[in-house]
Amino acid sequence: MATGTNIRTYFQGRWHEGDLAVIRAADQGAWLGGTVFDGARAFDGLAPDLDLHCARVNRSAAAMSITPTVSAEDIVAIVREGLAAYSPQQSVYIRPMYWGIDVDAAGLAPEPNLTGFCICLEEIPLPPADAATTLTRTRFRRPVLETAVCNAKAGALYPNNARMLAEARAKGFGNALVADAMGNVAESATANVFMVRDGVAFTPIANGTFLAGITRARHIANLRAAGVEVVETVLTFEDFHAADEVFLTGNFAKVTRVARFDDTEYRSHAMADRARRLYWDWAAGTARAG
């Protein structure tokens, strides 16, 4: 079942209406997990950082030994062509994807230069600005590069995310605050995380165990340009219990307030709201969907 509605699929050189079947049963990506994707957003006639997301899907493919076959610039052009079927009032999730087709001689990795490619556009509304979630700890951790392809936005990484989220929801929480291999905070199960203390914004330093997101980087730049001190550093769970405010950032929702982490409640969401306003102001000024 698809996540959104009004789906369009780009495959084999043209746009198709609907949720098109694109992967075959014997494709390497279907049975050996050789898939990567990226996610961008179009809303209010804007497509913020679309070029960066399209460039990252090619880097992710290379990290997974999948040969990227479409330039980032061409992916951007194809996406813009597909977006023309939607109105500026429709919020669209943009997902370019690669997968392996044939298996190489060793029997595991994708055969070079034989790559599946598609783009899926789905109408998915942005969550409301006042939407909030709750966080709890999980026994599952982020892997390291020596044990998983942490430098790719790879489909194979997401079952670990899913079990984190399932554990959190079984405990009555909306999301999980996740540790890296050393036991320090990495991010949530679905998005990067910030905490605020005495007016300073802190976020876990990128250490190779999680994707330091494009939207995360945009919020850091916007907040710093507005005079907010933003510190990337090692953070513990105790730091989050001592925080004045916590919020999540990612492409899907842009900014999500956090109301509670286990038994710690956060009554402020001022920095989250400021980050949201700065993001929309930046996007309106620089990121027209075309």
CATH number of the domain at 42, please: 3.30.470.10
Residue range(s) defining the domain that contains residue 106: 5-123
Among 91, 123, 155, the domain boundary falls at 123
CATH number of the domain at 148, please: 3.20.10.10
The mean pLDDT of 239-247, rounded to a whole number, is: 98
Overall size of the chain counted in residues: 290
pTM given for the model? 0.95
The DSSP H or E segment spanning 83 is helix 72-83
How far is the CA of 15 from the CAs of 57, 79, 116, 168, in angstroms?
Answer: 19, 10, 15, 38
Count of domains for the chain: 2
Same domain, yes or no: 151 and 257: yes
Same domain, yes or no: 175 and 39: no
Torsion of CA 277, 279, 281, 283, to 10 degrees: -150
Q: Which residues contact residue 252 at a Cβ distance below 8 angstroms, ignoring those fewer than 6 apart?
A: 39, 41, 93, 124, 190, 191
Higher pLDDT, 168 or 114: 168
The mean pLDDT of 86-93, rounded to a whole number, is: 96
pLDDT at 289 (0 to 100): 44
pLDDT at 33 (0 to 100): 95
pLDDT at 3 (0 to 100): 83
pLDDT in tens, 173-217: 999 999 999 999 999 999 999 999 999 999 999 999 999 999 999
Residues 180, 237: contact at Cβ < 8 Å? Answer: no
The DSSP H or E segment spanning 282 is helix 270-286
Same domain, yes or no: 145 and 280: yes
Same domain, yes or no: 148 and 239: yes
* CA–CA dist 15, 80 (Å, integer): 12
Same domain, yes or no: 119 and 136: no
Among 123, 148, 174, the domain boundary falls at 123
Percent of the chain with pLDDT over 70: 98
Confidence check: pLDDT of 89 > 60: yes
Residues 211, 199: contact at Cβ < 8 Å? Answer: no
